Amino acid sequence: MTFFIDHNKKSIHLQKFAGDRCGFIGTPVSEREFTNCPKYVERLKRESRYNRCPYCTSVHTTLIGDGQDIRLIN
Ligand SMILES: [Zn+2]
């Protein structure tokens, strides 16, 4: 699972589900980062106030959780 981090907007997406509606189009490449480390993502949220992208949120929450609560977005 790869996370896509928009450092310009301080938002976190899932690469797999990220799209035009996520609003990162204006973010320069240098401000974009890809990671497959959930702990790094959690730290950004907790310590740097990064926000989960609303369009990726439900999937994102599920996949970085304990894996017991699997839900699908529409
Ligand atoms: Zn997104």
pLDDT tens string 13-42: 999 889 888 999 999 999 999 999 999 999
pLDDT of residue 58: 57
Q: Once rounded to an integer, what is the mean pLDDT over residues 53-71?
A: 56
Q: How many A from CA of 21 to the centre of ligand 1?
A: 7
Cα separation values, 27 from 5, 50, 71, 74, Å:
10, 15, 29, 26
Q: How many A from CA of 17 to the centre of ligand 1?
A: 7
- pLDDT(65) > 50: no
Please tell me the pTM assigned to this model. Answer: 0.74
d(CA 65, CA 67): 5
Q: How many A from CA of 34 to the centre of ligand 1?
A: 13
Q: How many A from CA of 14 to the centre of ligand 1?
A: 6
Percent of the chain predicted with pLDDT > 70: 76
Q: How many A from CA of 68 to the centre of ligand 1?
A: 23
pLDDT of residue 55: 87
Calculated CA dihedral for residues 46, 53, 14, 27, nearest 10 degrees: -100
Phi (first) and psi of residue 13, to 5 degrees: -120, 165
